[in-house]
């Protein structure tokens, strides 16, 4: 490594930033002839955090997550090579004290939610989502960046119990108290980000990080519609739901956020790109459950048809009435200040078993021959009708 070259191929051109963690450079990849970003670990920085960021980025491949190209070490100094995003950050785009245009807000929200959905599906919780960590590429696509303090499922934690990591303005209440961090923490940070884009201000504001953290822990945010009365109703509702104190009462993860955005928009093209790339595995699981349901219904229908044929063929079989009981389970999650559209509750139906028992058949002796005397006999024979039982589910 020369003073201006890393790994013999990445020529450092312009320093983009310097933090306690790393030096970030705009560089030229002489092998593939493209611009990249080279991130070099600072001398006294946490090496494990740097490696964690690289592992998290390498585990995720999604259009709304910054892509990792390379990772290595020269002369004891680790480095990572990331895609270059010339569009700047979301923080750069937010007008002071004013909301973003609603169309822009909806598009960015959908793309960030899609990136979170992919990360959560792969067991990664970002833990530091904020406007400075949402970047834009040359096609103006939003991408989630900086997984330096991410929690990765199945690996050792970066912190001890009770340790607080994150940015105070975006911290979920459970992060503030050092509790367990799940995808719901990213959902809360998404709520802060969406609140800011819609209203031009943060739900809580203070110059002191500790005071900000206390407010996120103890106070309910002002209803967004009280701050901006003409905010789109579905987006305002989603922001407030994401900011619920109880993590169990928020949308579950990034996939839930994106589902709400898709449900609420009246212009599907605004989230079309995000919708086509978010959670294909989730789509497959839903299709699989639907296929099982359809197959079960077809088998049930076939069984009823066979039963009707069998019963109809036995005129001596009595009519049997059966009643089916249907049980329905609803799960309600409390929403303190807003009610989001709920999905159709799942219904579990137990099909009863109906047994038809035919009476024993008695064979009568043949009638005696008619007498020689002519006799006129008038007889009426009535054949009882047999009706297949109707099953009623309640």
Q: Is 44 considered catalytic here?
A: no
Q: Where are the alpha helices (DSSP H) in the chain?
A: 47-58, 90-93, 102-121, 173-176, 183-199, 209-218, 224-227, 233-242, 254-264, 272-277, 280-312
CB atoms within 10 A of CB 46: 15
> Is residue 257 within 8 Å of 242, Cβ to Cβ?
yes
94: nearest Cα among 61, 57, 67, 131: 131
DSSP three-state, residue 60: coil
Lookup result for tokens 């389970």: 329
Q: CA-to-CA distance for 175 and 125, rounded, in angstroms? A: 12
User: Which residue in the list 23, 29, 128, 146 is annotated as catalytic?
Assistant: 128
Structure tokens at 58: 């390498």
Is the dihedral angle over the CA atoms 164, 169, 171, 176 positive or is it negative?
positive
**Distance between first and last Cα of the chain:** 75
Assign residue 41 a region (left: φ > 0; alpha: ψ between -120 and 50; beta: otherwise): beta
Catalytically annotated residues: 128
């Amino acid at each position: 490594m020369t003073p201006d070259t890393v790994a013999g191929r990445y020529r450092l051109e312009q320093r983009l930033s310097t933090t306690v963690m790393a030096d970030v450079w705009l560089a030229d990849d002489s092998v593939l002839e493209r611009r990249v970003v080279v991130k070099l670990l600072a001398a006294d920085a946490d090496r494990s955090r740097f490696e964690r960021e690289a592992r998290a980025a390498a585990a995720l491949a999604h259009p709304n997550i910054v892509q990792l190209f390379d990772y290595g070490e020269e002369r004891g100094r680790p480095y990572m090579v990331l895609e270059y995003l010339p569009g700047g950050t979301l923080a750069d785009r937010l007008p002071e004290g004013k909301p973003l245009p609603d169309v822009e807000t909806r598009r960015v929200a959908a793309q960030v939610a899609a990136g979170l959905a992919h990360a959560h599906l792969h067991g990664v919780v970002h833990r530091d989502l904020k406007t400075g960590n949402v970047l834009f590429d040359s096609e103006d696509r939003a991408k989630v960046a900086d997984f330096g303090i991410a929690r990765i499922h199945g690996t050792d934690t970066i912190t001890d119990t009770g340790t607080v990591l994150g940015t105070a303005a975006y911290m979920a209440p459970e992060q503030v108290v050092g509790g367990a961090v799940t995808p719901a923490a990213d959902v809360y940070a998404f709520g802060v980000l969406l609140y800011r884009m819609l209203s031009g201000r943060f739900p809580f504001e203070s110059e002191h990080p500790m005071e900000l953290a206390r407010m996120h822990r103890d106070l309910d945010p002002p209803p967004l519609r009280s701050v901006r009365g003409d905010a789109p109703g579905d987006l305002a509702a989603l922001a407030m739901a994401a900011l619920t104190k109880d993590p169990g009462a928020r949308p579950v993860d990034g996939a839930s956020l994106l589902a709400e955005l898709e449900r609420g928009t009246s212009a599907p093209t605004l989230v079309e790109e995000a919708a086509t790339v978010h959670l294909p595995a989730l789509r497959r699981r839903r299709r699989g459950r639907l296929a099982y349901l359809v197959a079960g219904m077809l088998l049930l229908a076939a069984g009823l048809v066979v039963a009707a044929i069998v019963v109809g063929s036995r005129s001596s079989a009595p009519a049997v009435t059966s009643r089916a009981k249907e049980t329905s389970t609803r799960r309600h999650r409390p929403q303190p200040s807003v009610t989001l559209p709920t999905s159709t509750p799942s219904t579990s139906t137990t099909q009863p078993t109906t047994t038809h028992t035919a009476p024993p058949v008695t064979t009568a002796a043949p009638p005696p021959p008619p007498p020689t005397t002519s006799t006129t006999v008038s007889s009426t024979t009535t054949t009882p009708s047999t009706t297949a039982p109707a099953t009623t589910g309640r």
